Structure 1
Amino acid sequence: MARLTIPSPPQTQGLSSKTFCPPPLDGSLLFGQISEWHEQHSPHHRLFTYVDDTDRIQDITWSDAARAIRAGAWLARECVPWKQEMGKAPIIGILAASDTIPYATMVMGIVHAGYVAFIISIRNSPAAVAHLLNNVEVNHVLVGREQASQDLIQEAIVMLKSQYSSAGIPSVSAMPVYEDLYSPLSVPSLADELPCSLLSLDAPTLILHSSGSTAFPKPIIYTNRRVLELGTTPYYGELDITGLVFSIHMMPMFHSIGIMHVILGASCGIVTAVFAPKSPPAAPTTETVFQGAKACGCDIIIVTPAFVECALESWSRNPEYVAWLATLKFLWFGGGPLNKEVGDFLSSQGVSLCMGYGLTEAGCISVFIPARSYPDWEYIPFNPAITAHMLPQGDGTYELIVLASERDHPCLINTQVDGVDAYSTSDRLAPHPSLPGFWRIVGRTDDQIMHSTGEKASVVCVSNALIN
């Protein structure tokens, strides 16, 4: 049993649910064990929901998912045989455009096996993938069956052999599809008796990576402790979100927001609405995302960075769409800016906008889901679980620095504040002129240049002025 070293969060989730029993998040139970907790305590609570080809709602409960997760763990151990006495846990990468349900299930299965799941974006170049495989020392890669993913891993391994002569070459196998995990006949019955491997609270369990927009992507390690800390995020929020249906139809699972919803399904019982399992998976469009979210009866739609502009602008032009969006608890967007005119219009039509602000390195910075929307939708309040230090930039803006604390430990530490470990985000924020505690993201500290006079100027603002 793991030592209790994580402060128990306030009991704000699952208060009125008849099907969900919140798991302990104090370290007495690790993320890899939570599926078996829910199999016993929340068997009929929904984890996933989708609309099938006959337009009927299909649900996957924790009872269904727990067995599939054990099947995933069994498959992981077939790929890389390992026992705890052998030392360091194997790292299994996932490089696939897989649909959500088998992807999320396999991630949880790898963790249940006591292995480390490494989530690799298929948007990386072969050189970037080779760099990550070498850096992380991946033992095995589950590769999507689509040709693009097959080509990507083959080119990456060629580069790995030629450019990293001392690197170990990972073995490769096909990413499991839905039937491989959820069909009663797909996995030996022995998988049902597969015990969860217990690792320490500070052992790695998930690895994500940075975007690699300015250099090769860097791996970001999530320990068991960090995953549990992220799972407590809604407990410090303003709304009991247990049982609410979140549409992540447009969210790729290799994005940190996608993985966050896997964690929150386990920690506080959100229901994730997705596309029906298909191989190859359906590519999301603004139309199919809207129809899927509506058919699943979603309470909240999550809009990805890549879809922020095109989806919301497209939906805002359709009065019927806007009318339905106004019935949602929230239209949540993050990872990119929203045109102010579009946002103001949607807000004026009664659409509750919620801008999320988070970082792979530091977790959810804003309140995850507020109790209500605010007219000034561009501004956010901070998540009470984090400790923020605002460093003045001399122009009315501040750099956000997230301090480590008893209940929150950023994955990356790159500075200290008064002797306390911290993560310097390089994000510049401006305070609301009249609402204390509300902030707007205005840019990056590296967007600024300092003149010989000592005056600072924003490169973006100067560029826009020259263009205009």
Structure 2
Amino acid sequence: MAVNGTAPYGRRLLPNVLDELRDLNPGRVYAAIPTTSDVKDGFLDVTVADLARCVDFMAKWIEDTFGKSDGFETLTYIGLSELRGPVTFLAAVKTGYKLLLPSPRNPSSINSSLMEQTGSTKILYADELGPLVKSLQALAPSTRTEVLPSLRQMLQSSPARYPFLKSFDEARNDPVVILHSSGSTGAPKPITMTHGSFAAVDFEHIMPAPAGREKRDASFFEFDEETRMFLILPFFHLGGFWLSMCGGIFNNLTFVFGPPHIAPSPAMLKEMAQQQDLKAILVVPAMLEQILHEPGGMDFLRGLKFAAVAGAPASPAVGDQASSAVELLNFIGSTETFPLPELRKAREDWLYHEFAPYVKHEMQLYDRTEGAYELVILADEDTKDWCPLYHNVRGAKAYHTKDLFLRHPEKPKLYRYFGRIDDIIVLSNGEKVNPIPLEQHVEGHPSVLGALLVGNKRNKTVLVIEPTEPLAEGARASFLETLWPRIEEANAQIQGPGRVLPGKVVCAISEKPFARTAKNTIIRKVTERAYQAEIEAVYATSTSQGQGGNVRLESALRTIYKPSKL
């Protein structure tokens, strides 16, 4: 029998478990939310009873506003990173809808396309995001929009109970939420998930680990009720949704939220840790790196049970330093597959992945020269109880992730992430270059926000660097000169043909920030197109000067790196 609720693991439904928690353990804290925009002013504990009451209020509100849905109609939710996301999702499920969660950071054309693909004609939105919704309405004038009630209104409500009456067998294949793929390599795709998708995550609790080993799957988050975790990923991101629901309702995690309007910082995290006794964090690699640069950052990490990174791979230098202070969980997965269950490894192997034996998969050789393997996830009737892919991509037998891995030289079951097939640069001589190791090393410099290596069908590569701070035109050349030793170090991370030569570097300008996905990874093709003129200027200059071999770096930079006309 499961810890939360009366149904067994793998047969629990999220709205039912929350309602049972309200009766069995009403004082359990689901989340701590800041009382003002300044975390120094303190936090309010929101219990599972509070959350259940908010859900019932919102379910009645949806019914009164739109009516119930008999056919899993799609409601679009555009909100902030706060509790109204989980509340609205569970309320939508209770009233028969499925919820589309597009990223507010997407262009309106992308979100309009997602709505069209999923048949959504109704939007629920946070009042603060009204301008985004107006731009969506301009693209689809017949769309009906409604402003969400405030969280205060929800918390202060006293609604009648609004039960979810379906059994697991009745509801297993019902669609409940639509998230979208990241869009880092193409247009975001809607992925529809069912109750069965999350039941498969729940089933991980009872999947065995090999003798003497520990799992790092959903069951790992079954902590005591005092363990509080900071979650940086927004609700519309798979990681944020997965943990908010499976970790917070199926398990006993308590989340600590920051102010929804303010980007978190290491200083804010340290203040939250003092007030909330944080024991765990889930952050993107860029935030982890900022923590390491913050005074007292290592001491902060030492006070945690674990730190997890998701959304993008952490650089080896950052991960090595962090893992010396705390167990570092290096999640990998996708919207289609969910985070993949793994086994616990030695701390020094944090960079590697050892998938749990019950994850049915193959490592298919992709590049014999590099020794790179593509991860392929397999799904069938035998694995449907614990394989989210079976439910998220109907009919998928072999799902090619396009994620590439290198095998550990001494531990054959361990693989480290190498990049994506879509990231690979093919030079004009046919040489394949994986840009990720070089980019990660350059991005490890505190003055660098982003790095993008390009060069498809060219004989040499060009590196585009985005500074952390805007630079005046006259300062860009000296900035790149300062970075050159770092670039030379990064060159050692890849094979010769892909290495960056002097004169083959572009400094990005603040007027053209790198295009990024909701999880902050660089959208390569869009960013490359934005800097096409500057890249072509580099190639043209090197051609006219004999490939640039005898051109001094300083003069080349001062000639090439001028701001483009927007």
Band the TM-score falls in, shorter-chain normalisation: 0.7 to 0.9
Counterparts of 1:437-448 in structure 2, within 5 Å, are 437-448=413-424
| Contact residue 181 and residue 189 of structure 2 kept, 8 A | yes
Tell me which residue corresponds to 1:351: 326
Distance 2:221 2:77 in 1: 32
Instruction: Work out the CA distance in 2 between the residues paired with 1:249 and 1:427.
Output: 25
Structure 1 position 285 matched with structure 2 position 265: yes
Give the deviation of 1:257 after TM superposition. 0.9
- What is the match of residue 471 of structure 2? none
Whether 2:239 is the aligned partner of 1:261: answer no
Paired with 2:52 and 2:204, the residues of 1 have a C-alpha distance of 23
The 3 A distance-change label for structure 1 pair 141 and 24 is farther
Q: Quick check: which has more Rg, 1 or 2? A: 2
Structure 2 counterpart of 1:155, one-letter code = S
Matches within 5 A, 1:446-465: 446-448=422-424, 457-460=432-435, 463=461, 465=498
Alignment-derived partner of residue 303 in structure 2: 327
In the alignment, does 2:156 pair up with 1:183? yes
> Do the aligned partners of 1:23 and 1:267 also contact (CA within 8 Å) in 2?
no
Alignment match of 2:281 (pick from 301, 321, 328): 301
User: RMSD between aligned alpha carbons?
Assistant: 2.8
What one-letter code is carried by the residue in structure 2 that aligns with 1:286? P
Residue 208 of structure 1: CA displacement?
A: 0.4
Q: CA shift at 1:91, angstroms?
A: 1.5
Rounded Cα–Cα distance in structure 1 between residues aligned with 2:74 and 2:34 = 34
Change beyond 3 A, Cα 1:49–1:260: same
1:219 aligns with 2:202: no
Shift, 1:385, TM fit: 4.3
CA distance in 1 between counterparts of 2:364 and 2:191 reads 24
Alignment of 1:14-93 (within 5 A): 14=3, 20=4, 23-27=7-11, 29-50=12-33, 52=35, 55-56=41-42, 58-82=44-68, 84=70, 88-93=71-76
Partner of 1:299, secondary structure, is: strand
Q: Tell me, in whole angstroms, the C-alpha distance in 2 between the residues paired with 1:38 and 1:116.
A: 23
How many angstroms apart in 1 are the aligned matches of 2:293 and 2:264?
Answer: 19
Residue identity opposite 2:194 in structure 1: T
Quote the offset at 1:21 in angstroms.
5.1
Paired with 2:99 and 2:264, the residues of 1 have a C-alpha distance of: 25
Contact residue 249 and residue 289 of structure 1 kept, 8 A = no
Higher relative contact order (CA 8 A, sep 6+): 1
CA contact (8 A) 1:261 1:272 kept: no
Match of 1:5 in 2: none
Number of equivalenced pairs: 418
Counterpart for residue 92 of structure 2: 110
Q: Does 1:129 align with 2:111?
A: yes
Shift of 1:293: 3.7
Give 1:452 deviation, angstroms.
Answer: 10
C-alpha separation between the residues in 1 aligned to 2:345 and 2:150?
39
Equivalent in the alignment of 1:17: none
1:399 pairs with 2:374: yes
Q: Deviations over 1:29-77 (max 9, x none)?
A: 4223221122223323221124545755532222221111111211221
Instruction: Give the aligned partner of residue 223 of structure 2.
Output: 242
Tell me the distance in 1 between the aligned counterparts of 2:48 and 2:270: 26
| Cα distance in 2 between the residues matched to 1:25 and 1:212 | 33
Equivalent residues of 1:48, 1:59 under 8 A apart = yes
Contact kept? 2:51, 2:87, Cα under 8 Å: yes
Secondary structure at the aligned position of 1:269 is classed as coil
Unaligned runs of 5+ in 2: 208-214, 439-459, 462-490, 492-497, 502-566
Shift in Å, 1:326? 1.0
How far apart in 2 are the matches of 1:259 and 1:374?
A: 27
**Does 1:467 pair with 2:500?**
yes
CA apart distance, 1:386? 2.2
CA drift at 1:346: 2.6
Q: 1:382: which partner in 2?
A: 355
In the TM superposition, what are the counterparts of 1:133-172 in structure 2 within 5 Å? 133-146=115-128, 149-161=129-141, 169-172=142-145
Q: Distance in 2 between matches of 1:133 and 1:21?
A: 34
Counterparts of 1:120 and 1:89, CA distance in 2 = 17
Q: Give, in whole Å, the separation in 1 of the partners of 2:76 and 2:340.
A: 27
Question: Mean alpha-carbon deviation: is it higher for 30-39 or for 255-264?
Answer: 30-39
1:123 positional shift: 0.8
- State the secondary structure of the residue aligned to 1:47: strand
Instruction: Report the AA paired with residue 123 of structure 2.
Output: V
Which amino acid letter does the alignment assign opposite residue 67 of structure 2?
P
C-alpha separation in 1, matches of 2:228 and 2:345: 16
Higher helix share: 2
Aligned amino acid, residue 414 of structure 2: F
> What do the CA deviations read for 1:248-294 (whole angstroms, capped 9, x no partner)?
34222211111011222111221112136xxx643323321332244
Tell me the distance in 2 between the aligned counterparts of 1:23 and 1:292: 35
Q: Aligned to 1:196, what secondary structure does the other structure show? A: coil
TM-score normalised according to structure 2 size: 0.68
**1:337, 1:363 → 2: CA distance?**
16
Q: Is the 8 A contact 2:228 2:277 kept in 1?
A: no
Shift of the 110–385 alpha-carbon distance from structure 1 to 2, 3 Å rule, reads farther
Q: CA deviation at 1:121?
A: 0.4
Cα deviation, residue 414, structure 1: 9.0
Contact 1:22–1:267 (8 Å) recurs in 2: no
Distance 2:322 2:163 in 1: 50
CA distance in 1, matches of 2:270, 2:203: 29
Tell me if the contact between 1:399 and 1:428 (Cα under 8 Å) persists in the aligned partners. yes
1:273 pairs with 2:256: yes
Partner of 2:550: none
Per-residue deviation, 1:141: 0.8
| Paired position in structure 2 for 1:365 | 340
Contact 1:242 1:270 in 2 (8 A): yes
The Cα shift of 1:372 comes to: 6.5
1:252 matches 2:234: yes
